[in-house]
Amino acid sequence: MTDASNTRHIPDRLQSNAARILKSWEVLLVGVAILIFVANSFASPYFLNAWNLSDATFNFTEKAMIAFAMALLIISGEIDLSVAAIIALASTAMGAAAQVGAGTFELVLIGLVTGLAAGAFNGVLVTMMGLPSIVVTIGTMSLFRGISYIILGDGAFRGYPDGFAFFGQGYVWWVLSFEFVLFAVLAVIYYVVLHRTNFGRTVYTIGNNATAASFSGIRVARVKFILFLLTGLMSGVAAICLTSRLGSTRPSIAFGWELEVVTMVVLGGVSILGGSGSIPGVVIAAFVMGLVTFGLGLLNVPGIVMSIFIGLMLIGVIALPRLWAKRRA
Amino acid sequence: MMAFLKSREAILGGAILVLLALIASRFPGFIAPANLARVFTDTSPLLLLALGQTVVILTRCIDLSVAANLALTGMVCAMLNAAMPGVPVIVILAIAVGLGAIMGAFNGILVWKLAIPPIVVTLGTMTIYRGIIFLISNGEWVNAHEMSAAFTGFPRASILGLPVLAWFAIVLAALFILMIARTPLGRSFYAVGGNPHAAVYTGIDVGRTQFWAFVISGALAGLTGYLWVARYAVAYVDIAGGFELEVVAACVIGGISIAGGAGTILGTILGALFLGIVKNALPVVDISPFWQMAISGAAIITAVAFNARSAKAKGRIILRRAQAQGAQA
């Protein structure tokens, strides 16, 4: 996150690299993460256990996968609140297919295609019809989950094939779960895409000034459409992992996750106004949220009270630097 | 006259009449006055919250914390009543409105003084307010037998054949129509949302206006909190879960532009009624209530697509309040 506002000013003297890094959002977040880690290991004797820590990663891996794509989308100045509903829709589609005997490969394919289709639907409405993404995705959020409710009602799909369990429950090596490895691989891929490619630069350009971007030859609508596709696809991936982990599908699956994903992205230093943010920030924010949830869970703090911490963190990390800047000004 | 017939409100009103006619053609009982009164009463909480949300959206903000505010105020009122049954309803009403307004003011201060994007602020306070309910209630329910007869009887008391709850909705809707059209504050909501730069030059404090919008929205949420808890005679952590999105949906269907500055209270009223009628009609026409979510999702998307077509292209980008803030500074 840069300034309180989007006004850019040119400094008289460039800051040294070291000073810039030390003051950066990511370093601040790492500090927070370390603090939480240390506090947790003092607070509970069960915290520093490889298997417990490995279990804890499930708190955030699925949400973080979506958060990567969401970060790009928010940097470009749009938002997708339908991601959790896409999980429900994709999971329902997979469940329905599993009932008629689809194998693991088909299920994965169905999950990914459903996610892509839902993302494309959002993308068409936003980029081709020029509708505001926040309203469109509030609408599709009801629509996608609504379809899930129509199909399932108060029932549930069970009976996934044995091989399907690997995505949410399998381990690649010792305590490294498949989900965690996938999370790490995706983090690297998104890092490269956002910070090392032309495409990534265009995402920032669009977020800072979409008009200037289109005058400089960037196909704004196309880039945004791709980002909606990506967000849909990642929701499909998360749906596969979550469904596999739970082993069942209900229409209320992943309820409220869209807000947690957005929280993760904003906590990671991505400006909700678009134009700035980084993947490492989102990765660290994922760990912070996962550690807080896990640590408080070990202390028998109920989930809803943890959400107070998440909410305070979300407002606090944005408010404190601004308060500080105000005092200095 | 022609202009009125082409307006969003007239078209939405027409759609509601067609909807009612369709239902009545098979189930004449639905449009019996007594049943329509019941549907209206059932829609009143949605309408009350949508009035406040309209003002907030007009100023280019959004308040996602209304449902949590409602639930927290409702819980406080219920616990107060359970502990001190002697406290008169008028005092409880005052506490409800006051507490709601304070929570709204908290949102407003963060938006006004620290210029944090409203979606982030209210996302955070939403989880914080919900968490506080758990903290004060220990996750327990306040049930009907713990509430006094005066407490639960108030919203259901009948005046001229309509319950008090419905009268609150009618009177406040009328007040809002007047306030929006006839008071400086009402006009400044439009000015701030329509063009923040111009608003600043005409001497309107953009941040302060947004602050008052949040206070109004919070006060209404608080009032509805008491009415809701008393009407259903139960208070627990999750009441009105996800209701904030239904409230935003009512505004969007009613033609309130999410980009701010456009829309009418009449539109909001019709938008809320539309959702209320659909919700109440589904069981009557023997469609599973599980269809409701998908239908309201489709209605939101249709409404926003329709509004975008009827509105002149303004080329605005959502989530772009930054320039406005820059102008203010």
Q: Identify whether A3 is part of a domain.
A: no
Q: Identify whether A27 is part of a domain.
A: no
Q: Do B313 and A263 touch (CB under 8 A)?
A: no
Residue B327 CA to residue B260 CA, distance in Å, equals: 17
Q: Do A273 and B139 touch (CB under 8 A)?
A: no
- Give residue A136's domain range: 50-328
Residue A219: CB partners within 8 Å, gap ≥ 6? none
Over the stretch A98-114, which tens digit does the pLDDT of each residue have?
989 888 999 999 999 99
DSSP-derived pairing of the beta strands B162-163 and B158-159: antiparallel
Q: What percent of chain B has pLDDT over 70?
A: 92
In the predicted structure, residue A203 carries a pLDDT above the cut 70: yes
User: The pTM is what?
Assistant: 0.84
Chain B residues whose CB is inside 8 A of the A312 CB are: 124, 128
Q: Identify whether A4 is part of a domain.
A: no
Chain B residues whose CB is inside 8 A of the A149 CB are: 290-291, 293-294
Over the stretch B64-96, which tens digit does the pLDDT of each residue have?
999 999 999 999 999 999 999 888 999 999 999
User: What DSSP string runs through B80-108?
Assistant: HHHH-TTS-HHHHHHHHHHHHHHHHHHHH
Type of residue numbered A67: A
ipTM beyond cut 0.90: no
Q: Identify whether A243 is part of a domain.
A: yes
Query: SS3 for A173?
Result: strand
Q: Cβ distance A234 to A63 under 8 Å?
A: no
Residue B271 CA to residue A41 CA, distance in Å, equals: 52
**Confidence grade of residue A9 (pLDDT, cut at 50, 70, 90):** low
Chain B residues whose CB is inside 8 A of the A153 CB are: 288, 290
Mean of pLDDT over chain A = 87
Q: What percent of chain A has pLDDT over 90?
A: 46
Query: SS3 for A2?
Result: coil
Q: Do B322 and A140 touch (CB under 8 A)?
A: no
CATH of the domain at A150: 1.10.3470
In the predicted structure, residue A328 carries a pLDDT above the cut 90: no
**Structurally, how many domains does chain A consist of?**
1
Q: Identify whether A176 is part of a domain.
A: yes
**Pick from A319, A317, A314: which is nearest to A260 by CA?**
A314
Q: Identify whether A305 is part of a domain.
A: yes
β partners of residue B235:
B142
